Amino acid sequence: MDPVEASVGWGVLHLFYRVDARRADDEPGGAKRVLDAIGGFVDDDHRVLTFTVLGHKADLGVLALGPDLARLQALEHDLALAPLVPTWSYVSLTELSEYGATEDDERARLAAEESVTDPAELEQRLTTWRERIEHYREQRVHPRLPMKRTICFYPMSKRRESHANWYNLPFEERKRLMAGHARVGRTYAGRVLQLITGSTGIDDWEWGVTLLADDPAALKEIVYEMRFDEVSARFAEFGPFYTGLVLEPREALARVGLE
């Protein structure tokens, strides 16, 4: 199987299933099929998070990501051999935001907000900024997802209505608005890990948002607070929300009735 890799970013699959209880009873070993599929997929770059879904939209969720889309497709095929009925899926790629701060932006911010103009101090501060931004960019494109206790996923798009068309705004205005949006998100650093993936031209919506937190209240709080930000209040359309409990694969399967 020849690999299929994007020039930038990794492939991301959000897969949701119901357990076919009758088939699970008739075909013992359903859990082993899932565990074998995941075990054959996971390596240093290809990862999986499994979670039990709260509510009736699905029983089991699988978040899989890695550079090779062919391996992602093979995982999806292998999971279909288990007594699982697909209920929904989402396809996206990890990406860097086009609105991310540049070194010139940081230089201007240091001068305007902190009055840093001395060349030696400025270079020291920029060196620290470069290290931090490099780590941030690496995490966005090649994420290492921690085992937080809860997960929330939803797709979203930007509006194109006559009174609120995101794509008619000049780039600098969009960048200004997104900078304010990002500031709200940064207040949840340490409480909520946010993975934003791009799906324009790949799936029905334009972005996928994955939130991971130990405290489920933090998932509610970050989405609620961000909806008051102008980017969300004026320009955001949201798809379905899936929330679940992140567990090791064997435990997740046992929780949904696959032993």
**Structural tokens at position 80:** 């279909």
Q: Which contiguous run of DSSP H or E holds residue 121?
A: helix 119-141
Active-site residue list: 154
Return the percent helix, strand and coil in the chain, to nearest 5.
Answer: 40, 25, 30
DSSP letter, residue 190: T
Whose tokens are 């997802």? That residue is 145
244 vs 59: CA distance, rounded Å: 9
216 vs 123: CA distance, rounded Å: 40
Question: How many other C-beta atoms lie within 10 A of the C-beta of residue 20?
Answer: 18
Pick from 21, 130, 11, 2: which is nearest to 66 by CA? 11
173 vs 99: CA distance, rounded Å: 10
Q: According to DSSP H, which parts of 142-198 are helical? A: 171-186
Kindly report each contact of residues 102-108 with a partner whose C-beta sits within 8 Å and lies 24 or more positions away, as own/partner: 103/129, 103/130
Phi and psi at residue 205, to the nearest 5° = -105, 180
Burial class (CB in 10 A: 0-12, 13-18, 19+), 100: middle
